[in-house]
């Protein structure tokens, strides 16, 4: 029973901070809410007994990606001002997508709630499934045929974003009119 309450609280944290991320006009506050949302996802991983994924969520998304985004926001000074309208011409499409996604999630939850007795406990997982999963995942990260290339591409993309933020934030040469 207490595990269900913890699940509901962590899910509520994740959902509320996710809504704050997409509705907040201040980019810095949205980035902080995104970090809290990532923390909620890590909490959900902990509830699923996926400690490795929770640690990776904390280290990679909160410790690296979110901090990189916050640095990029701070480097672009003019983005710190919230003058732009948060709504654009695609709000109708966004609303339709959000409602359709909510309906899909609701249908899946209702099916599992009444169709399968999922809340009475976790299914038993055989030990053979859990053996050497972390070492197999580590080997897949360094295997050229598995996850090395996506990680390299993601790191180059993040480096390019950081260089672009530095270029945008770099002060221009002062002229006599500005001095």
Is residue 38 within 8 Å of residue 66, measured between CB atoms?
A: yes
Q: Look at 116 and 128; give whichever has higher pLDDT.
A: 128
Fold for the domain defined by 1-86: 1.20.120
- Cβ-contact 52, 146 below 8 angstroms: no
User: What is the domain partition of the chain in residue ranges?
Assistant: 1-86, 92-122, 131-179
Q: So what's the pLDDT on residue 62?
A: 87
Residue bearing tokens 């990606």: 65
* pLDDT reading at 61 higher than 80: yes
Residues 136-146: tens digit of each pLDDT: 877 887 888 87
**Which of residues 87 and 23 earns the better pLDDT score?**
23
Structure tokens given for 40: 């909620």
Does the pLDDT value for residue 59 go beyond 80? Answer: yes
Q: Please give the radius of gyration of the chain, using alpha carbons only, rounded to the nearest integer.
A: 21
- pTM, two decimals, is 0.52
In this structure, what DSSP letter does residue 99 have? Answer: H
């Amino acid at each position: 029973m207490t595990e269900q309450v913890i699940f509901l609280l962590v899910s509520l944290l994740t959902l509320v901070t996710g809504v704050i991320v997409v509705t907040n006009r201040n980019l810095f506050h949205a980035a902080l809410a995104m970090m809290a949302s990532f923390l909620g996802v890590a909490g959900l991983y902990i509830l699923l007994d996926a400690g490795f994924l929770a640690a990776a969520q904390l280290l990679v998304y909160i410790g690296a990606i979110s901090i990189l985004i916050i640095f990029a926001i701070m480097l672009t000074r003019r983005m710190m001002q919230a003058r732009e309208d948060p709504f654009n011409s695609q709000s109708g499409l966004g609303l339709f997508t959000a409602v359709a996604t909510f309906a899909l999630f609701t249908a899946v939850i209702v099916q599992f709630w009444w169709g399968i007795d999922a809340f009475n406990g976790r299914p038993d997982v055989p030990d053979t499934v859990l053996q050497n999963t972390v070492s197999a995942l580590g080997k897949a990260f360094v295997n050229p045929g598995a996850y090395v290339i996506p990680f390299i591409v993601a790191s180059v993309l993040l480096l390019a974003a950081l260089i672009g933020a530095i270029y945008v934030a770099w002060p221009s040469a002062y002229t006599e009119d500005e001095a």
